[in-house]
Amino acid sequence: EVQVVESGGGLVQPGGSLRLSCVASGFTFNDYAMRWVRQAPGKGLEWVSSIVDSGSDTYYADSVKGRFTISRDNSKNTVYLQMNSLRAEDTAIYYCAKAHNLYFEDWGQGTLVTVSS
Amino acid sequence: EIEMTQSPATLSVSPGDRATLSCRASQSVRSNLAWYQQKPGQAPRLLIYGASTRATGIPARFTGSGSGTEFTLTISSLQSEDFAVYYCQQYNSWPPFTFGQGTKLEIK
């Protein structure tokens, strides 16, 4: 059974940093791209970032480019999202998802990030 | 960037009836479209990919159709567990991957 579990969310002040982690199991981790998607309170889904299976290529939404960094450690079946220079508009539930043929096949339960003073 | 527009924003349907949800792309995405279901307090769940292929474990009452710019998700004989928010998402032209704003399916 595929499992994706996010952690690392919390309350952070504007301008602060946070690192999210996503541990995956139940599949061959280094065969799949992984992605982060966020959902602001009461809003829809917004793709944030993607990383290919090897980690060699990464992609970002314009809204986070230059502030967020995605990475992965295939030895630990883990993908990370380093978030710097956080803003109030980054407040959201952050979901980690396993990609398959470009769609989002399996999702974690999410971790809440709140940016507020 | 391809914009995805879903209609209606809210759809009220009685249990046992059929629901038809629409999704339109601002330019052709061929058949590279997925549908997701999200229940309150839960993560999204993949329902349909390739515009019409049901994901593993998805009941046959969920049917996806369309190609190019016009897509439909039909849910026949609505069950209580089907009332949720539904999102379409294109993966033909990326980055970015883009989602529709969602259709809330509520009990009439």
Mean pLDDT per segment of 10 residues, for chain B of length 108 residues? 98 97 98 98 98 97 98 96 97 97 96
**Share of chain B residues as helix, strand and coil, in percent rounded to the nearest 5:** 5, 50, 50
Residue A61 forms contact with B (CB below 8 Å): yes
Digit-coded pLDDT (tens) for A15-48: 999 999 999 999 999 999 999 999 999 999 999 9
Identify the pLDDT of residue A39.
Answer: 98
What's the average model confidence in pLDDT over A95-105? 95
Identify the pLDDT of residue A101.
Answer: 86
Contact B95 A61 (CB under 8 A): yes
What's the average model confidence in pLDDT over A59-82? 98
Residue A98 forms contact with B (CB below 8 Å): no
Separation between Cα atoms, residue A89 and residue A83, nearest integer Å? 13
**Does A51 score more than 90 pLDDT?**
yes
Question: How is A10-35 classified by DSSP, letter by letter?
Answer: EEE-TT--EEEEEEEESS-GGGS-EE
Nearest CB to B87; choose among A45, A60, A102? A45
